[in-house]
Amino acid sequence: MAASSHHAGSSSSSSAQSEQRRRLVRAAASRQQTSSDGPEPAESSSLKRFLISGAAAAALLLAAATPRPAAAFQMPGGLFGGAPQPAAVATKVEAAPAVMENKTPLPDLSQLSMEEIKTVTLFKENTPCVVNIANIANARRYYSTDILKIPQGQGSGFVWDHNGHIVTNYHVIRGASEVQVSLIDQSTWPATIVGGDPSKDVAVLQLQAPKEVLAELKPIELGNSSGLFVGQQVFAIGNPFGLDHTLTSGIISGLNRELNTGYGGGAALRNVIQSDASINPGNSGGPLLDSRGRLIGINTAIYDPTGKGSSSGIGFAIPIDTVRGLVDQILTYGRVVRPVLGITIAPPQALRQMGLQGVLVLDVPPGTPAAKAGLQGITRDDYGRMSIGDVIVGMNGKPVKSEGDLFGVLDDCKVGDKVTVDVLRGGNKKRTLTVQLAERVPDATE
How many other β-carbons are positioned within 10 Å of the β-carbon of residue 365? 11
Is-catalytic flag, 201?
yes
Distance of alpha carbon 199 from alpha carbon 170, whole angstroms: 9
Q: Are the beta carbons of 330 and 195 closer than 8 angstroms?
A: yes
In three-state form (DSSP H/G/I as H, E/B as E, the rest C), the secondary structure along 178-218 is EEEEECCCCCEEEEEEEEEECCCCEEEEEECCCHHHHHCCC
Q: Buried (b) or exposed (e) across 106-129, using 16+ Cβ within 10 A?
A: eeeeeeeeeeebbbbebbbebbbb
CA distances from 50 to 23, 27, 58, 374 (A): 23, 20, 12, 93
DSSP-derived secondary structure for 124-165? HHHGGGEEEEEEEEEEE-TTS--EEEEEEEEEEEEE-STT-E
How many other β-carbons are positioned within 10 Å of the β-carbon of residue 249? 17
Q: Buried (b) or exposed (e) across 195-205, using 16+ Cβ within 10 A?
A: bbbbbbbbbbb
Taken as a whole, the chain contains a residue count of: 446
Distance of alpha carbon 92 from alpha carbon 94, whole angstroms: 7
Hey, what amino acid is at 21?
Answer: R
Active-site residue, from 156, 165, 171, 199: 171
Q: Are the beta carbons of 142 and 94 closer than 8 angstroms?
A: no
Active-site residue, from 165, 197, 201, 276: 201
Active-site residue, from 225, 253, 275, 284: 284
Is-catalytic flag, 171?
yes
Residues carrying an active site annotation: 171, 201, 284
